[in-house]
Amino acid sequence: MAALGPLWARELWGAAKNLARDAGTADLRNATRIGGGIRRRPSDANWPSQAAWKRLNDEVDGNLIPVEFPIEACLKDTESAACQNLFNNIHNPYYIGDQPGLTQTLGWVDAWVSKPSVYVVAASNADHIAAAVNFARENDLRLVVKGGGHSYQGTSNAADSLLVWTRCMHDITMHETFVPQGCKGKHTPQRAVTLGSGAIWMQAYDAVTTKGGAYVQGGGCTTVGVAGLVQSGGFGSFSKHYGTAAAGLLEAEVVTADGKVRIANACTNSDLFWALKGGGGGTFGAVSKVTLRVRELPEFWGAAILTVKAASDGAFRRLLRYFVGFYREHLFNDHWGEHAHIASDNVLDLLVVCHDLSTEEVKKIWQPFLDWVARLPAA
Ligand SMILES: Cc1cc2nc3c(=O)[nH]c(=O)nc-3n(C[C@H](O)[C@H](O)[C@H](O)COP(=O)(O)OP(=O)(O)OC[C@H]3O[C@@H](n4cnc5c(N)ncnc54)[C@H](O)[C@@H]3O)c2cc1C
């Protein structure tokens, strides 16, 4: 995530200008992208009346909020206090996550740009989500769901839409003997955790590992949303051992397009359940809760964090060649995860983690690499 903050800040002004320039064409693209039809826009005569919005607000217990687009302040005046406030905070993924009008990236050149919804339902339960889904369906509105806001494809934001925002839904319950609904007698009770769909992985790991002394397989980036990651498959630091996050999904509570709150697991609505295991966020419904498998903690966790700078392009090429071989021999197995980053200036940054290896075993694995690097010629 750290890499995204500076990216945001660097591109913010340019993208803000593009937003203004592209407003007309981007709207048309978006209009045809979702649902295949033209949805109602605020400028349309049949946009819902204030009275209709008020009825929705009552149904969602006052949680219907007009969406502010913080970038607007910079479009008007880059020197304004509001714009300076945005620049001061935009490096912080938690700040971005707390803004219904922002997403964790500004977009993708010529593919999409981050655009705010008109209203957000800051849902706190499945009934709020159902009310929003029904309102959007009955009024032919664009509807979008956002959890952690980390969609690379821009699928959690859409201009002129109604947003279901799950940020406030982060209740977490641990179970010692969980059996999915309708699976009694078919499934052995097992340890599990139920997470509100707006929880981020930091909250999940805190509850399951720090407080619960156990492990749940999620993603490596701790500000990613739980429901978004599970529905996109989800590969994390120890997935080579524990499998994808989607593989750990035992049950979901989902609001489908007809506004019904459904339970999906291997025994109940099983087609929907399999579809949620990697079929893409927002495709099959709005998820309100997920229940994931919980594992025993291994005896050891560890990490190897190294930065190696080669003295020349030639030495760097030799280093990369050696590292790829070293990876194949020693790290390409289910003990190791995370990443190697080939940086500029002939720098190789390694941040790899391991489980079930003692300190002695880790040292033994890495010693040949360290010895080789020590012998790497200075030029
Ligand atoms: C910095 C960064 C690091 C990442 N690291 C990893 C990683 O380690 N492993 C990995 O596998 N992936 C990773 N990803 C990809 C990430 O898992 C996906 O983009 C994921 O879909 C993001 O989920 P979100 O809730 O944060 O995002 P959002 O943008 O909120 O949602 C993503 C999609 O899911 C939908 N969605 C969200 N919540 C719900 C819900 N409750 N019900 C229905 N649909 C919903 C949205 O509509 C959207 O289509 C990373 C992405 C970023 C930007």
Residue range 175-210, pLDDT digits in tens? 999 999 999 999 999 999 999 999 999 999 999 999
Q: What is the pTM of this model?
A: 0.89
Domains contained in the chain, CATH given: 2-165 (3.30.43.10), 172-296 (3.30.465.10), 301-375 (3.30.70)
Residue whose tokens read 């009552």: 58
- Sheet containing 347-355, strands listed edge to edge, beginning at the edge strand earlier in sequence: 301-309, 347-355, 336-343
Whether 220 and 93 have beta carbons less than 8 Å apart is answered as: no
- Tally Cβ neighbours within 10 Å of residue 239: 20
Q: Could you give the CA distance from residue 362 to residue 304 in angstroms, rounded to a whole number?
A: 8
Sign of CA dihedral 148, 149, 152, 155: positive
Q: Could you give the CA distance from residue 261 to residue 255 in angstroms, rounded to a whole number?
A: 4
The pLDDT, as a whole number, for residue 20 is 35
195 lines ligand 1 (CB under 6 A): no
Q: pLDDT (tens digit, 9 = 90+) per residue, 315-374?
A: 999 999 999 999 999 999 999 999 999 999 999 999 999 999 999 999 999 999 999 999
Q: pLDDT (tens digit, 9 = 90+) per residue, 39-74?
A: 999 999 999 999 999 999 999 999 999 999 999 999
Which atom of ligand 1 has the smallest separation from the CA of 104?
Answer: 53
User: Which helix H or strand E contains 23, and what residues bound it?
Assistant: helix 4-33
- Ligand 1 centre to CA of 330 (Å) is 31
150 lines ligand 1 (CB under 6 A): yes
The mean pLDDT value for 81-90 works out to 95
Distance of CA 378 to the CA centre of its chain: 42
Nearest-Å Rg of the Cα atoms of the chain is: 23
- Ligand 1 centre to CA of 153 (Å) is 10
Confidence class of residue 1 from pLDDT cuts 50, 70 and 90?
very low
Q: Could you give the CA distance from residue 280 to residue 233 in angstroms, rounded to a whole number?
A: 8
